[in-house]
Amino acid sequence: MPEKSPAPDKIFDAEFTETAPAVEAYADFVAIVHQLRRDCPWDREQTHESVKHLLIEEAYETVEAIDKEDWPELSKELGDLLLHVVFHSVMAEQDGRFTMKDVIDAETTKLVVRHPHVFGDTQVDGVGDVLTNWEQIKMKEKG
């Protein structure tokens, strides 16, 4: 396997750095959700509880698109799931609980910690080792 070069001050390879237009699109999307929570009466009155069933519905629709190998539909449904992640994060931020950045940071940390064969010195001989390590790390995290 060729030597990987990390992005400056990053643990991942520079080639995987997201493009500026993609970062801007994400930032615009989050800004739109914030504005909807402020300016749309329906969006403003929603709670985690009131929209949780919609999150489940979107997850099922995503699975259906995967099962059908309907890639345009999968793209749409993944957008709907992303909306729910951002919407719940914005509501939580408004309540002073956590932010979208907190969600991303926690998941990033989890991915890095659970992949020591990619981001550390652990050697694996295949998928079986990866799964064994994943479960051991997960159990250790839970105490």
Q: Using CA atoms in the order 93, 45, 76, 108, what is the torsion angle rounded to 10 degrees?
A: 10
pLDDT tens by residue, 62-88: 999 999 999 999 999 999 999 999 999
Beta carbons of 74 and 62 less than 8 angstroms apart: yes
| pLDDT at site 103 | 97
Residues above pLDDT 70, as percent of the chain:
94
Contacts of 74 (CB under 8 A, 6+ apart): 62, 65, 66
| pLDDT at site 1 | 45
Cα–Cα distance, 94 to 35 (Å, whole number) = 12
b/e sequence 12-43, b meaning 16+ C-beta within 10 Å: eeeeeeeeeeeeeeeeeebeebbebbeeeeeb
Beta carbons of 5 and 13 less than 8 angstroms apart: yes
pLDDT tens by residue, 88-127: 999 999 999 999 999 999 999 999 999 999 999 999 999 9
